Structure 1
Amino acid sequence: MSKQGSVVLIGMPGAGKSTLGVLLAKELAKDFVDTDVLIQLREDKTLQEIMNESDYLNLRRIEGEVIAEAVLPNHVIATGGSAVYSEEGMHNLLKFGPAVFLNCTADELRRRIHNYESRGIAKAPGQSFDELFEERQALYRRYADIVVDCDGSDLERVLAEVVSRLADR
Structure 2
Amino acid sequence: MPTPTNVVLIGMPGSGKSTVGVLLAKHLSLGFLDTDLLIQQANGKSLQAIVDGEGQGALLRAEEAAVLSVEAERCVIATGGSVVYSAVGMAHLKALGTLVYLATDLATLETRVGDYTMRGLAKRPDQTLADLFAERAALYDRYADVTVQTTGLTHDAVCKEVEAALAAR
Whether TM exceeds 0.5 here: the answer is yes
Give the conservation status (yes or no) of the 8 Å contact 1:35–1:78.
Answer: yes
2:160 is equivalent to residue 121 of structure 1: no
Give the conservation status (yes or no) of the 8 Å contact 2:23–2:156.
Answer: no
Percent of paired sites with the same residue: 46
Tell me how far apart the structure 2 counterparts of residues 132 and 4 of structure 1 sit (CA, whole Å). Answer: 30
- Quote how far apart the aligned CAs of 1:39 are: 0.4
- Quote how far apart the aligned CAs of 1:2 are: 2.0
Tell me how far apart the structure 1 counterparts of residues 5 and 83 of structure 2 sit (CA, whole Å). Answer: 19
* Unpaired stretches in structure 2, ≥5 consecutive residues: none
Give the conservation status (yes or no) of the 8 Å contact 2:10–2:17.
Answer: yes
* Matched length: 169
Q: What is the one-letter code of the residue matched to 1:100?
A: V
Partner of 2:109: 109
Partner of 1:8: 8
- Quote how far apart the aligned CAs of 1:42 are: 0.5
Deviations 1:45-103 (A, max 9, x none): 10011111110111001101110221112110000000111111111111111111000
Partner of 1:88: 88
Give the conservation status (yes or no) of the 8 Å contact 2:33–2:78.
Answer: yes
Q: More helix per residue: 1 or 2?
A: 2
2:131 is equivalent to residue 131 of structure 1: yes
TM-score by length of 1: 0.97
Deviations 1:99-146 (A, max 9, x none): 110001111111111121101011011111111110000110011011
